[in-house]
Amino acid sequence: MTNQDTKTPNNIQRPDRRTATQIRPLSCKQGFLTQVDGSAQFAASNRSTVICGIYGPTEVKPQDEILDKAFIDVKYRPDVGIPGTKDTLSKVVLRDTFKHIIMRSLHPRTMIQLNFQVTQSDGSIEALAINAGVMALIDAGVPLKYTIAAVSCCIDVDGNALLDPTQDEMNDAVSIHTFAFSNIESDNNTPIYSNSTGKFSLEEYKMCFELCKVGANKILAFMKTCIETKISQLNQS
C-alpha cells in the first residue's frame, strides 16, 4: 500500500454517523462499588463498558511478596464465558502497563489487586480497560506517576484510519493499533503503551499514532472533568 492511499478524510461516514477521527461519547462513574477500596466504570456510547475494582494496598501472599515494591495482581473477566487464552493476554498486558504507572515503591510488601470485568463488548475494550483501571486507581487513592488515557485506531480495507472502532469495524480491519499517552506534556510524544495487530506500513502506524494522540488528549481532558465534577459536588455539601 502506498502513502497516498492512507488518509483520514473527515467526510467518511461510519455506520454510527461518526467521522473517522471522532471518538464515541464517553461516560465514567467512580466509587460506586461498596466492598472494594476503589472502583470505576468506563463506557463508550453505552455499548462498550468495563468495570474495574481495586483492592489495596493490602496483605500479600508470602510467595508473591516483593521486599521493596508492591505486587500488582490483575484479574480479567470477559463479558461472556470464562476467561480464555485471549483474556490471559489482556491480563498480562494490563498488568505490565499498570506496573509502570503505579508508584510501587511507596507501598512495599503489599498487593494492589485490579479486577476487571467487561460488561458490554463493542470494540476498543483494551483501551477502555486501561482507562477504567486508571480511574479506579485514582478513586482508590493509589499513588500514580501519571494519569494515562488509551484509545484504539484501526485501518480499514480502503486504507482509512478509524478512531475508536466498534466491534464490526475491528472485525473488518486490516490492522488495529492501541496507544496510551500520559498527561505529562514533555512525554507527549512517547506512548506509555502501544499494541498493534495485523499488517501495516510505517506510514499507517505513524498516522494512527498521531490520531490516537489527539484522541487520548481528549480522553485525558474528559477524565479531568469527571474528577473535577465529582470533587466539586462533594465540596458543595
Partner 1 sequence: MAQVKSHKIVLPGEQVSDLFENNQNEESNNSEVICLGPGLLQTGDQIQAINSGVLRHIPKTNKYWVQGNKRKYTPATGEPVIGVITAKHAEGYRVDIGSAHQATLPLLAFEGATKRNKPNLSIGALIYAKVSIANKDMDPEIECYNSDTGKSEGFGELKNGFTIRASLGFCHRLLTSDTPILSIIGQYLPFEVAIGLNGHIWVNAGEESHKKTVMIGNAIENAEHLNHNECQAMVKELMNRA
Tell me which stretch binds partner 1 (CB under 8 A): 1-9, 123-131, 167-175, 177-185: 177-185
Q: 44 is written with which cell numbers?
A: 463508550
For residue 183, state whether it binds partner 1 (rule: CB under 8 A).
yes
Residues 59-88 touching partner 1, rule: CB under 8 A, are 59-60
- What is the size of the binding site for partner 1 (CB under 8 A)? 35
CB of 161 to partner 1, least distance (A): 28
Tell me which stretch binds partner 1 (CB under 8 A): 74-82, 137-145, 151-159, 204-212: 137-145
Tell me which stretch binds partner 1 (CB under 8 A): 14-22, 56-64, 73-81, 150-158: 56-64
CB of 38 to partner 1, least distance (A): 7
Comparing CA positions, the residue from 35, 40, 62 lying closest to residue 51 is 40
Q: Are 135 and 52 in contact (CB under 8 A)?
A: yes
Omega before 57 within 30 of 0, i.e. cis: yes
Residues 101-130 touching partner 1, rule: CB under 8 A, are 103, 106-111
| CB-count burial class (<10 Å; 0-12, 13-18, 19+) for 231 | exposed
CB of 167 to partner 1, least distance (A): 31
| 136, 140, 153, 208: residue in contact with partner 1 (rule CB under 8 A) | 140
CB of 32 to partner 1, least distance (A): 13
> What are φ and ψ of residue 181, in 5° steps?
-125, 150
H helices of the chain, where? 85-101, 125-140, 167-171, 202-236
Count each helix (H run) and each strand (E run) in the chain, helices first. Answer: 4, 9
For residue 50, state whether it binds partner 1 (rule: CB under 8 A).
no
CB of 178 to partner 1, least distance (A): 20
| 12, 66, 144, 174: residue in contact with partner 1 (rule CB under 8 A) | 144
3-state helix, strand, coil in the chain (%, to 5): 35, 30, 35
Tell me which stretch binds partner 1 (CB under 8 A): 15-23, 76-84, 134-142, 195-203: 134-142
CB of 209 to partner 1, least distance (A): 20
Rounded Cα distance between 83 and 161, Å, is 30
| CB-count burial class (<10 Å; 0-12, 13-18, 19+) for 44 | buried
Residues 6 or more apart in contact with residue 206 via CB below 8 angstroms: none
List contacts with partner 1 (CB under 8 A): 37-38, 56-60, 103, 106-111, 138, 140-141, 143-147, 182-184, 223-224, 227-228, 231-232, 234-237
